[in-house]
Amino acid sequence: MSMSALRAAKQALRRDIKRRVAALSDAEKQRQSLVVSQKLIRHPKYVSAQRIAVFLSMHDEVCTQEVLRDVFKRGKTCFIPRYESNSSHMDMLKLNSLQDMETLPLTSWNIRQPAEDDNSRDEALATGGLDLILMPGLGFDRVGKRLGRGKGFYDNFLERCNRHPKGKPYTIALAFKEQLCQEIPVDDNDVLIDEVLYEDDK
């Protein structure tokens, strides 16, 4: 597939998934988020992980509030993304508590994240790496291909993780059933995810 055909295929799929997720009621999103969060909280890779990167969810993503609560309850170390608005660079910075989160400024995407000039926080890769990264995304398939929003933040960050002495962290995506696709078109820069958690019907 040519680059432009791939881009077009991804754009069409993004529109399709956005439409499916937009059709979900808030109550249904909440219900699935709870199911997926409980799956994660029982997952051996989560249980054993000490240093975890958690995304702060947008309206069309599995809500990570329950997960954040559990991370702090178990005394794990939590890192959250700071996206640089004019590049595809992202850092994972330490979040100290749920209260700490409430004090963070809101971005134009209505997501809380540490301010650009906030240098007081530990950055994950500078302070010992990560055990587990929870991955957001628009769409996923069952073999771990991911469709992001097209900015490449996570792909670039995982590249940096791969070069870290600790090696690549385990990656788990949290998804609504409606975000699952038969197959996602990818190219060589797209990083595969180790596992996708969603509510299955078994």
**Residues near 62 by beta carbon (within 8 Å), at least 6 away in sequence:** 29, 32, 33, 36, 37, 174, 175, 176
**Structural domain includes residue 202:** no
| 83 annotated as belonging to a binding site for a ligand | no
pLDDT for 101: 95
| 61 annotated as belonging to a binding site for a ligand | yes
Decide if pLDDT at 55 tops 70: yes
| 137 annotated as belonging to a binding site for a ligand | no
CATH (domain of 75)? 3.40.50.10420
Decide if pLDDT at 198 tops 70: yes
**Structural domain includes residue 193:** yes
**Structural domain includes residue 12:** yes
Angle at 24 between CA 155 and CA 72, to 5 degrees: 55
| 18 annotated as belonging to a binding site for a ligand | no
Containing structural domain, residue 33: 3-197
Rounded to the nearest 10 degrees, how much is the dihedral formed by the CA atoms of 154, 155, 156, 162?
100
Q: What is the pTM of this model?
A: 0.94
- What percent of the chain shows pLDDT beyond 90? 79
When divided into structural domains, the chain yields a total of 1
Q: What is the mean pLDDT of residues 192-198?
A: 95
Nearest to 68 by CA among 105, 90, 49, 41: 41
Q: Which amino acid is at 161?
A: C
| 10 annotated as belonging to a binding site for a ligand | yes
**Structural domain includes residue 186:** yes
| 167 annotated as belonging to a binding site for a ligand | no
Decide if pLDDT at 179 tops 70: yes
Burial environment of residue 195 by CB neighbours within 10 A (0 to 12, 13 to 18, 19 or more): middle
Q: What is the pLDDT confidence band of residue 194, given thresholds at 50, 70 and 90?
A: very high
pLDDT for 202: 54
Give me Rg for the CA atoms of the chain.
16
Token duo for residue 65: 């509030």
| 11 annotated as belonging to a binding site for a ligand | yes
DSSP letter, residue 10: H
| 56 annotated as belonging to a binding site for a ligand | yes
The residues that bridge with 196 in the sheet, in sequence order, are 173
How many angstroms separate the CA atoms of 49 and 113, rounded? 23
pLDDT for 99: 96
Q: Tell me which of 166 and 126 has the higher pLDDT.
A: 126
